Amino acid sequence: MLKTFILSLCVVFAGLSVSAQTVDPDSIPLPELAPIPEAPDRDDPEGGEGPTVKEESVLGDAVEEARPDVFILSPEDRIEQLDTLFGKLKREKDPKEAELIAEEIWAIWLQSGRPSIDLMLRRGVAAQKRGDLPKARRMFEHVIRLQPDYAEGWARSARLALEQGRVADARADMVQTLILEPRHFYGLWTLGNIFERTGQTEAAFESYSEALDLYPALEEVEKRVKALRGAAEGQAL
């Protein structure tokens, strides 16, 4: 069902009008920024311009040497752990306990396999949180360029684009996220947000419902499902 929904996204996007791209970015509340470890101050000084691309490369080499691959999950272990955690997440009804499980899932998703990429992602999120959106964009673009198969890089880029009101870019990046990681409940939540902003009520309802199926205790998404159920069912009729 989830894969079918993702494949249908391109059809839905093709029907969006040009006017939908200029929707007020404050019309629908954005999801909270997903959790991620904060970047250490020594790596990303407050108010600084940040390293150049060349400096990123040098720093990245040093980080790679400092942290051997033994700290990185193998593809097999990654799949096994995610499957186990998603099973627990689906069964957990208590929001606080579910949040702890979700954070374990995030910890795995945040492993790109390359410590230098992880560092750039943390820097991008830290910059975004303090309002330095140009630096955040630069960091996320580095991540995507250097590791295009890393779903979390696309997810962060999409969330930033949506915050900037760039709806078309946000949805394109989020579709790429879901192609790489179909169970990305935060991606489905954000995609539902995009659909709401572009007037696609039924698609928003479906996206939120898919997220809620993966993470039943996600209260904010449950609220959106309840709010949109009547309108979506009316459109389906």
Q: Which residue has the tokens 């009804």?
A: 93
The one-letter amino acid at 142? H
Domain spans of the chain, in order of start: 50-72+111-182
Half-sphere exposure of 36 (CA within 13 A, CB side): 26
CATH code: domain 50-72+111-182 is 1.25.40.10
> 0.75 cut: is pTM over it?
yes
Give the pLDDT score at 224. Answer: 92
Residue among 14, 33, 30 nearest 165 (CA): 30
One digit per residue, the tens of pLDDT, for the chain of length 237 reads 655 655 555 445 544 443 344 344 455 666 766 655 444 333 444 444 445 555 455 445 544 444 444 457 788 899 999 999 999 999 999 999 999 999 999 899 998 988 899 999 999 999 999 999 999 999 999 999 999 999 999 999 999 998 888 999 999 999 999 999 999 999 999 999 999 888 899 999 999 999 999 999 999 999 999 999 877 565 554
Return the number of other C-beta atoms located less than 10 Å from residue 45's C-beta: 11
